[in-house]
Amino acid sequence: MADREFMKKIHTCSLKVTFKRPCRAHEQKLMKTMMKIGVYEISLDMKHGRLEVIGRLDTDQLIRKLKETKMLMDVELWEDQNGSKKRSS
């Protein structure tokens, strides 16, 4: 029963990100930042600017934290598991 309740709280979303200067160090810093706010799994395609995250997180908080790193020029929500699509921030 506890596993089902835990799984219900897991959230998946896809983001479109634009890096100021794409490099391995920026990728590692983003990963570290996201792990601190409850992200369990991260898939980052720097070439195409697509970021997929899975975890116990709030999408607005995730976007705010990513912008605070100051490595990204733009962060846009493409899709989340609740069906929300294309929201810019």
CATH number, domain with residue 45: 3.30.70.100
Q: For the stretch 22-43, what's the b/e string if a residue is b when 16 or more beta carbons lie within 10 angstroms of its beta carbon?
A: eeeebeeebeebbeebbbeeee
Based on the structure, what is the number of domains in the chain? 1
Contacts of 64 (CB under 8 A, 6+ apart): 89
Q: How confident is the model at residue 89 (pLDDT cuts 50, 70, 90)?
A: very low
User: What integer is the mean pLDDT of 27-51?
Assistant: 87
Decide if pLDDT at 32 tops 50.
yes
Write out the H or E segment, with its range, that includes residue 35: helix 24-36
Containing structural domain, residue 53: 2-88
Digit-coded pLDDT (tens) for 64-79: 988 888 888 889 998 7
